[in-house]
Chain A
Amino acid sequence: MTTSADFDQGAFVRTLLDPELPPPNELETPGGFPPERRLAVYRNNVCVGLVDALAERFPICLQLVGDEFFRAMAQCYVRERLPRTPMLFEYGDEFATFVSDFAPARELPYLPDVARLEYAVGQAYHAADAAPLSLDLIRAVPLDRLESATAALHPSTQVVASAYPIVSIWRRHMSDDEMTPVELDHGEEALVVRPELAIKVAALPAGGSAFVDALRSGGTFGEAVNAATAVAADFKLTDCLRELLLTGAFVALSVAH
């Protein structure tokens, strides 16, 4: 009685993920029936539960492709990549990459970037709290000092650059205004910030995401402008700073003396 072998949980997981596999030998049912029907309860819980988690995480992708298509696609993702932690709000970190390789979704080339934006929104929702810098404090910085200044960004700040108008797509779906078509002829760089509790999504001018990335990695404003103009020669610094200030993306500025 004390030598009972370990129950092979790995084999159990394999049968949960692949209904073609026979159920593990050690399973029994009270009526002596094959255990498939009861195993199906667990299969369904695992699969439907995780597909639901993705549907909640990527609601705009779901709207864009429809419920049936989304659930079929999400089910493939679930079978391939189970969550690596019990924190479901982290699940779907590879969904955008998966979608870009998912052949049936090729007709919607902007779908992976919309998924990236939605994932960034979810990350921002759970990010650490911090008080955004007030506009007055920023206005007090002499412009000639800005070039060598560095900034601390709000922990929720994320950027997603796309060859498609992902911010316009996001806004249209958030406002339930599905009548206005979005022109797909231009790209957009999305800025996501959650300065207090509400998520803000804004479009940065071309080069804006390179600007933010440079600041985030500790670069000065001068270095960030350089990074931005390297990808967009006509980088509009004033527009970019306005969006960052209005969304509350800065929590501190360090000005060299």
Chain B
Amino acid sequence: MGTHSAPEHRRARAASSLPARAGVGFKSVHLADIEASARDIGFFEIHAENYMGAGGTPHAQLMRLRRDWPLSIHGVGLSVGGAEPLDREHLRRVKSLVEQYDPAAFSEHLAWSTQGRRFLNDLLPLPYNATTLAHVVAHVDEIQEALGRPILLENPAAYLLFRSSEYSEIEFLREVVRRTDCRLLLDVTNVYVSATNLAYSAEDYIDAFPMSFVEEIHLAGYAEDVDEIGDPLLIDAHCAPIPDAVWRLYDRALARRGPVATLIEWDNDVPSWPTLSAQATQAEMRLERRRRAVKDRLRSEALHDDLG
């Protein structure tokens, strides 16, 4: 394991060329509104698996989007955290989609979704230990080899812990990055959901996250349930506006990371275009505030140099 070093092609190319702007998850019901009024949207993200048919409306719409906006392709079916070998046939489909659209970024999840050739359609959890690390590293390596580019790996929303975990999630992600040279997609809502469900500090998690490898952020709304004693149990449902607590965590992450591509995810109970784009505008304002803070800092340092 210690002899591992990332092949040249990965270092030759950044994982993401997404602009440090706010983007939204593409929903076909919004296409007419997008064509009429979405000049200000920084990028669109799609789920790879919805565009794996041979032709028809999905590809016609994707080509339309790709013409005018940077595209992020988000995989939900490679089962990176699976104990089984990757589904090679599925990896070939992902590769051909990535080759066809040459997206600004390709991302996947630290989770599993396939077992015994059955697809569960959910992002399922794994313990963080030496065995699972070896699986994840091998899978990320294989995906990056196939795609010829580094991918972004996303932190999951968690509801449970495993007795067999030996690493914290952040230690585990750091190791995956170190061994594969992949980059990270920080889902701030997942941080808030996991921290609430597993009773740790979301702020501490953000403060400890390896921010220099983060090339995209996800923001979404969650659903609220309660656990056995009436404490909140949050569910990553992508079904609502972004709550204030998540915006505050986002600001905290931006303060460490600087402006970075930020996606508004709203996949269920899909809202009207104005409601969705208003969320992107909010993210854009926060990005702009961070940009200005950086500029102000530079100006004051220039001043400092003049004085020195």
A residues at B contact (CB < 8 Å): 1-7, 9-10, 12-13, 16, 25-31, 33-35, 37-39, 41-42, 45-46, 49-50, 53, 82-89, 124-129, 155-156, 194, 197
A89 touches B50 (CB 8 A): yes
With A5-B131, A13-B116 in contact, is A42–B122 under 8 Å at CB?
yes
* Neighbouring A residues of B117 by C-beta, 8 Å: 84
- In the assembled complex, how far is the CB of residue B92 from the closest CB belonging to chain A, in whole angstroms? 12
- A28→B114 CA distance, assembly (Å): 22
With A31-B199, A42-B159, A85-B90 in contact, is A1–B130 under 8 Å at CB?
yes
Q: Which residue of B lies closest to A38 (CB)?
A: B159
Q: Which residue of A lies closest to B1 (CB)?
A: A2
- B57, B159, B198, B229 interface centre (most CB from chain A within 10 Å): B159
A4 touches B166 (CB 8 A): yes
A46 touches B121 (CB 8 A): yes
A38 touches B60 (CB 8 A): no
* Neighbouring B residues of A155 by C-beta, 8 Å: 54-55
- A35→B94 CA distance, assembly (Å): 35
Could you show 17 A-B contacts with beta carbons less than 8 Å apart? A1-B129, A26-B162, A30-B198, A31-B199, A33-B228, A37-B228, A83-B121, A84-B117, A84-B119, A85-B77, A87-B77, A88-B49, A88-B50, A126-B58, A127-B54, A127-B56, A129-B59
- In the assembled complex, how far is the CB of residue B211 from the closest CB belonging to chain A, in whole angstroms? 26
B197 touches A4 (CB 8 A): no
- The interface size of chain B toward A, counting residues with CB under 8 Å, comes to 58
Tell which of A27, A42, A83, A124 touches B118, judged by Cβ atoms closer than 8 Å.
A83
Considering only residues 216-258 of chain B, those with a C-beta below 8 Å from chain A are: 225, 227-229, 231, 233, 235
- A53→B76 CA distance, assembly (Å): 15
B122 touches A49 (CB 8 A): yes
- A31→B196 CA distance, assembly (Å): 12
Identify whether the interface residues of A are mostly helix, strand, loop, or mixed: loop
B54 touches A29 (CB 8 A): no
B83 touches A7 (CB 8 A): yes
* Neighbouring A residues of B159 by C-beta, 8 Å: 38-39, 41-42
- In the assembled complex, how far is the CB of residue A40 from the closest CB belonging to chain B, in whole angstroms? 9
- In the assembled complex, how far is the CB of residue A129 from the closest CB belonging to chain B, in whole angstroms? 4
A1 touches B166 (CB 8 A): yes
Tell which of A9, A27, A37, A194 touches B161, judged by Cβ atoms closer than 8 Å.
A27
- A82→B118 CA distance, assembly (Å): 6
* Neighbouring A residues of B127 by C-beta, 8 Å: 4, 7, 26
A86 touches B76 (CB 8 A): yes
* Neighbouring B residues of A46 by C-beta, 8 Å: 120-122
Asked if B160 is at the interface of the complex by the 8 Å CB criterion, the answer is yes
B residues at A contact (CB < 8 Å): 49-50, 52-60, 76-79, 82-84, 87, 89-90, 93, 112-122, 124-127, 129-132, 159-164, 166, 197-199, 225, 227-229, 231, 233, 235
- A29→B235 CA distance, assembly (Å): 15
Q: Other than A87-B49, A87-B93, A126-B53, give 6 A-B pairs with Cβ distance below 8 A.
A: A9-B112, A34-B228, A38-B197, A86-B121, A87-B53, A124-B56
With A5-B131, A82-B118, A89-B53 in contact, is A31–B163 under 8 Å at CB?
no
- B121, B132, B159 interface centre (most CB from chain A within 10 Å): B121
- B84, B124, B233 interface centre (most CB from chain A within 10 Å): B124
Q: Which residue of A lies closest to B125 (CB)?
A: A42
- In the assembled complex, how far is the CB of residue B78 from the closest CB belonging to chain A, in whole angstroms? 8
A82 touches B164 (CB 8 A): no
Q: Which residue of A lies closest to B55 (CB)?
A: A129
- In the assembled complex, how far is the CB of residue A221 from the closest CB belonging to chain B, in whole angstroms? 27
